[in-house]
Amino acid sequence: MSPATKAGSTIIPGLRYRDAHAAIEWLCKAFGFSKHAVYDDDQGGVAHAQLVYGNGMLMLGSVRDNAFGKRMQQPDQIGGSETQCPYVVVKDCKAHYDQAKAAGAVIVDEYAEKDYGGAGYSCRDPEGHLWSFGSYDPWAGHDG
């Protein structure tokens, strides 16, 4: 069994959102995340949040003008580009695609069955972050 299935993921993506509260609600509705923890800051934003999906976790917070925050740019500040993209393993990729699309996700790579197995698609959330979802599980059949 892989370390990820024993105790949760050991690599956790971190994102920043201008409207983190709205992003949390949308990520739960569109992608099926669940709130694990949400800590508000004293300015009406989110100091830190943890969302879970299966054994995976995403940490996020509000955009901040601090030392760490200055190292991160939002997609609209860099021409819609990203330097990282979370890949999330989903059991029923077509149903996930339909749910995300119905919630307003901007589809950038349509749902498709993949030559290497499984299916997948890519989309952007309301603040432009790029996401990839697929039924291909690189942990399956591996002992880690």
Q: 9 or 22: which carries more pLDDT confidence?
A: 22
Residue with tokens 């119905």: 102
pTM assigned to the model: 0.87
Judge whether residue 2 has pLDDT over 80.
no
Tokens in use for 117?
Answer: 């197995």
CATH 3.10.180.10 is the classification of domain 3-72+85-134: yes
Round to the nearest angstrom and report the end-to-end CA distance of the chain.
7
pLDDT digit string, tens, across residues 12-64: 999 999 999 999 999 999 999 999 999 999 999 999 999 999 999 999 999 99
- Residue 7 confidence class, pLDDT cut points 50, 70, 90: low
Geometric angle at alpha carbon 39, from 5 and 50, rounded to 5°: 20
Q: Domain segments of the chain: what residues? A: 3-72+85-134
The confidence score (pLDDT) of residue 6 equals: 53
The confidence score (pLDDT) of residue 4 equals: 42
- Residue 144 confidence class, pLDDT cut points 50, 70, 90: very low
The confidence score (pLDDT) of residue 34 equals: 98
Task: Tell me if 43 sits within 8 A of 118, measured CB to CB.
Answer: no
pLDDT digit string, tens, across residues 84-99: 999 999 999 999 999 9
pLDDT digit string, tens, across residues 71-88: 999 999 999 999 899 999
Mean pLDDT for 95-108 is 98
